[in-house]
Amino acid sequence: MAKEYSPFTPGVPVPIEFFVGRENEITEIVTKVAKSASMKTLERVFITGERGIGKSSLCRMAVRIAEEKHEVIGLHVFLGGVTSLEEMVRRIFERLLQESRDRSWFDGVKGFLGNHIKEVGLFGVSLAFDAPQRDLSQAVSDFGPTLRKLLSRIGAQRKGLMIVLDDLNGLAGSNAFANWLKSLVDEIATARDPLPLTLVLAGLPERRRQLLETQPSLDRVFDLIAIRPFDEAQTKQFFQHALQKVNVAVTPEALNIFWQFSGGYPVFLHEIGDAAFKADTDGTIEKRDALDGVISAAKVIGAKYIEPKVLAAIWSERYRGILRKITPVEAPHEFTRFTKAELMGRISPEEAKVLDNFLQKMKRLGVIHQSAEMGKGHYQFTSALYALFFLLQAAP
């Protein structure tokens, strides 16, 4: 049968029409935007969660709702590869240009940014913000007043700003960034003129820790929203909703397999779902399709998400045998923790000979660490993504 396109989008934020769940988190963010727009206050949020948990998709959805319901300008700014405050500010204003084009307030934005706007691309269909370094440095120093001036140019057309700074890998360890954030918050809080701004940071837990090590007071400044994996009901709802959009049915047995092997992590939901969608030939994803999808997804996940140094270190068949037995398929939702004693009961005598070396090597690689709270002999994966990959490797 002829099938529509796959509703799953591995590796990229989920399209708005396929977004499912996270109602509580979105409500919390949008409520802050509403308060900022109506009371002209500064609201601050830090969204954190493991790699692939859906932070960017959540931010994208929250921006869309905030724009529609509360008449703010929403800017979702990706900072991948950015290591300087000047480049950060340039990307913010470039995003402002791109989001304002064909909007009623574009003339105000255009007048505000002046002659720093240029058309780019083969046919000049995109706009770029091209300002000299000295102007960018000044914008970094005067970021709060600059945003006030922007809103005054727009007038009553928009009630405030929502700026999402996503992917902080290059900035989180920077003293300049941490201190800039603290100074920005202090300046806005003590200024005579209010600034209706909702500032959202999105990053991995370790990026947040880096920021707090440099500027501990930011812990009090930013309200924390920690994104967790989907639960069983949310996972099944996700698959039913996505497949319904493309007129594909899914059986309860297949949904159980999707839940069992995804652990509720969106990054795996999309990989497994996409693989199962391609395996299906009759418009109904059944148990066999789901299992084929799991096996195919395991190969993709290994190539995409498990660092080459880890795969190289476990090339030994005995090491791989141990990894396949760390997480028993019959108890997949206890996948992040294990004990040496339990593992000894599942591995072969040959594998037991190299177990100590294996554990030491995995600790050095940062794959596992000893669980201090549980005591000697207890281990935990440093990322659930590692654990889920090895669970997928054990699929039938």
What CATH number has the domain bearing residue 321?
1.10.10
199 lies in the same domain as 327: no
Among 171, 201, 226, give the residue marking a domain's end: 226
Q: What angle do CA 18, 23, 29 make, to 5 degrees?
A: 110
Does the residue 324 lie in any domain?
yes
How much is the pLDDT for 335?
65
Among 202, 226, 250, give the residue marking a domain's end: 226
208 lies in the same domain as 322: no
Query: Which domain range does residue 152 map to?
Result: 22-226
171 lies in the same domain as 65: yes
Report the domain count for the chain.
2
How much is the pLDDT for 125?
62
CATH number at residue 153: 3.40.50.300
329 lies in the same domain as 221: no
72 lies in the same domain as 209: yes
Find the DSSP H helices in the chain. 23-39, 55-70, 85-100, 106-113, 133-141, 143-154, 175-190, 205-214, 218-221, 232-245, 252-262, 266-279, 287-305, 308-313, 317-326, 340-344, 349-353, 355-364, 384-393
333 lies in the same domain as 221: no
49 lies in the same domain as 194: yes
Q: Of 139, 97, 102, 135, which Cα lies nearest the Cα of 119?
A: 97
How much is the pLDDT for 306?
75
DSSP β-bridge partners for residue 337:
380
Block mean pLDDT (10 aa), the chain, length 396: 73 69 90 96 94 88 94 95 94 92 88 81 70 91 94 89 94 93 94 95 92 92 92 92 91 93 85 92 93 84 75 78 71 70 89 90 83 76 73 63
Among 226, 253, 285, give the residue marking a domain's end: 226
Does the residue 217 lie in any domain?
yes
Does the residue 89 lie in any domain?
yes
216 lies in the same domain as 360: no
217 lies in the same domain as 354: no
Does the residue 379 lie in any domain?
yes
Find the DSSP H helices in 41-129. 55-70, 85-100, 106-113
329 lies in the same domain as 215: no
DSSP β-bridge partners for residue 269:
none
* Beta carbons within 10 angstroms of residue 392's beta carbon: 26
* Beta carbons within 10 angstroms of residue 253's beta carbon: 14
Does the residue 326 lie in any domain?
yes
Does the residue 168 lie in any domain?
yes
Does the residue 248 lie in any domain?
no
Does the residue 255 lie in any domain?
no
